[in-house]
Amino acid sequence: DGGITQSPKYLFRKEGQNVTLSCEQNLNHDAMYWYRQDPGQGLRLIYYSQIVNDFQKGDIAEGYSVSREKKESFPLTVTSAQKNPTAFYLCASSKDRGRGTQYFGPGTRLTVL
């Protein structure tokens, strides 16, 4: 089946640790996105990538890093520099270098203990 997968579904982290969230798509989409959602809030863009080996910062990139070595994969690392990382993280993809419809994965809930 075509779609977007994110893993893990739930993630617990101790303060000071880096963690990497996985996002994979088999839709052959050019563009991929990472969003953060806090309780009762909308989605805010962390990073996006229109093509392989290229990515741009969104509104809240501080404390996060990404890579785009393969078209189907866009992992997000939450570093210890992120002051308040507990949130729901959503990955999305779209074709046409980001000018088409966005499709979302099921999300990862990160909790910092």
Question: Where along the sequence are the contacts to other proteins (CB under 8 A)?
Answer: 31, 33, 35, 37, 41-45, 48, 50, 56, 58-59, 88, 90, 92, 97-104, 106-107, 109
Pick the closer one to other proteins by CB: 17 or 101.
Answer: 101
What is the separation, in whole angstroms, between the first and last Cα of the chain?
35
DSSP state, 73?
B
- Quick one: 82 or 108, whose CB is closer to other proteins? 108
Six-digit token string for 42: 């909308």
Taking the C-alpha atoms of residue 21 and residue 61, their distance in angstroms, rounded to an integer, is: 15
Give the shortest CB-48-to-other proteins separation in angstroms: 7
d(CA 102, CA 93): 6
> Taking the complex as a whole, how short is the minimal distance between the CB of residue 7 and other proteins, in angstroms?
15
